[in-house]
Amino acid sequence: MFIKPSFAEEIALRLQGYQLVAGIDEVGRGALMGPVMAGAVIMPEKIKGRWKNQVRDSKQLTSKSREYLFDYIIDAAVSYGIGSSDNDEIDTVGIAKSTRLAMVRAVKQLVPQPQFLLIDYVRLKESHCPQKGIIHGDSLCFSIACASIIAKVTRDRLVIEMDKEYPGYGMAAHKGYGTEEHIASLRRIGPCPLHRRSFRPVSDMLSLI
């Protein structure tokens, strides 16, 4: 059974005086290629429309549902931002720091700037803004769930374009994750410039070249 995210965290913070509360989430952390991408969004206190009852963690939604909700979310949002860290940066500084950098970049795009951050699991030590990391936040917290949808749709669209530039890996289907099809294509034609050299099995294959 899928959990319906609530607005409880946002309401509690507004009672404490925080009027601009941003939800933040990432996507692509476990992929073998491309960027890790983060979404940040400040949602209004009152939202009209039945669509809000369909919001879930992006992993619990179909591609069609995510695309449908994406437009409603960005239209209703007080502000939203998208940040990323590409595969070269991931290989240089590591996936954990790259994920936080993508989140910080997403937050910096918000206008007005948030007074408090609600983040899926992560603690952003690179930000001085008051914040709370919530385990399974993308399932429990409405703003984080909205951020997860923004990040997922944006990255999926980008990877589909990457698939046109580097065909043969099936990126449009698996979005860069380590599926059997993806691993088989890596063994057949080798990594492309978008692959993360520090991730296995990509690194293992490069060591054999």
The 10s digit of each residue's pLDDT in 11-39 is 999 999 999 999 999 999 999 999 999 99
Instruction: Say if residues 106 and 82 touch (Cβ distance below 8 Å).
Output: yes
Distance CA 70, CA 129 (A): 26
Average pLDDT of the segment spanning 171-189:
94
Q: Is the pLDDT of residue 131 over 70?
A: yes
Quote the tokens at residue 66: 């995510």
Beta bridge partners of 42: 22, 79
- Mean per-residue pLDDT of the chain: 95
3-class state of residue 85 by DSSP: strand
> Nearest to residue 24, comparing CAs of 155, 120, 152?
120
Quote the tokens at residue 95: 């996936």
Q: Is the pLDDT of residue 43 over 60?
A: yes
Q: Is the pLDDT of residue 107 over 60?
A: yes
pLDDT at position 1 is 53
Pairing of strands 131-134, 116-120: parallel
Residue appearing with tokens 């099936």: 170
Average pLDDT of the segment spanning 173-194:
94
Residue 124 pLDDT class (50, 70, 90 cuts): very high
3-class state of residue 6 by DSSP: strand
pLDDT at position 68 is 97
Q: Is the pLDDT of residue 147 over 90?
A: yes
Other Cβ atoms closer than 10 A to 202: 21
Residue appearing with tokens 């374009």: 161
3-class state of residue 36 by DSSP: strand
Average pLDDT of the segment spanning 153-165:
97
Distance CA 5, CA 56 (A): 6
Residue 40 pLDDT class (50, 70, 90 cuts): very high
Pairing of strands 79-85, 116-120: unpaired
Q: State percent of the chain over pLDDT 70.
A: 98
Please give the angle made by the CA atoms of 171, 143 and 97, to the nearest 5 degrees: 55
Average pLDDT of the segment spanning 153-175:
96
Beta bridge partners of 33: 195
pLDDT at position 206 is 73
